[in-house]
Amino acid sequence: MRWQRNRLLAGSAILLSAGLFAACSPGSDSPLSPSKSGKVTTFTTPSTVSSTMWDFAGILIPGTAGPVDLGTEETISQSGFGSIVARSSAGTHVTVKGGDLAVGASERGLGLCIPGTATTCSFPDDGDEIGDGGPGALDLDFSGVLPAGSVLTSIDLGSVQPGEGYRYSISTDGGASFGPVQEAFGGDAEDNATITFDNLPTTGLVVRLEKTVELNGECTSSCHNDYTVRAATTSVITNEELLNGRMT
């Protein structure tokens, strides 16, 4: 009987050793370090949003009252952030004024003037805001904004008195075609207004700003409705879901 008991004990020892070996084998379900698991590990880096303000008068005529006739096209540049190009419609010129005013002042920003048969505009007769001298359009081309992947988040307007309004439309093909016209009326207590955008990619982006001539059917083309384009804000998201899939 003793030899049977010894044989049973020996068999149990062999089974126990086999179980331990299986538990430690690579194909088991035991927890192992990532370096031994053979799985892909994903790492995520937090996103960072960086915004750039384009204060048009501050960039173009810092400390100068203006208004200044900029001609039919003006490139507005900031070191490291590329450029925005301002273009006027036929028969009008781009203007800028208020470089001597505080940032956020209502009478500070871009506009339009109508020179007529003259080479340059005369102020104040030819106007210095969008709609001041008559109808016209100011196009802001954001295609040159840097870094790549930037988006437009807002455009700030000034000199929008009670009952006055503005009109804008958007092109995503470099100005070849524009979407439906949007209109809004009235500014805040300082006569300023902000057009907000849902992170419009700046590649091929042109925003057209025009005079609005009606409010609830009560105005005609003689309505004042002139305003300045004070600033724009562009943003870029960096490190957004930066994924490194690696076999470890």
Which of 22-26, 51-55, 190-194 is predicted with the least confidence, judged by mean pLDDT?
Answer: 22-26
- What DSSP letter does each residue of 86-131 carry, written as one string? EEE-TT-EEEEE-TTSPTT-TT-EEEEE--TTSSS--TTTT-SSBT
- The tokens for 69 are 């006739």
Three-state DSSP at 183 gives strand
0.85 cut: is pTM over it? no
Q: Indicate if the pLDDT at residue 107 is higher than 90.
A: yes
Contacts of 64 (CB under 8 A, 6+ apart): 99, 100
Which of 127-131, 169-173, 227-231, 237-241 is predicted with the least confidence, judged by mean pLDDT?
Answer: 237-241
- Whether 75 contacts 143, CB under 8 Å: no
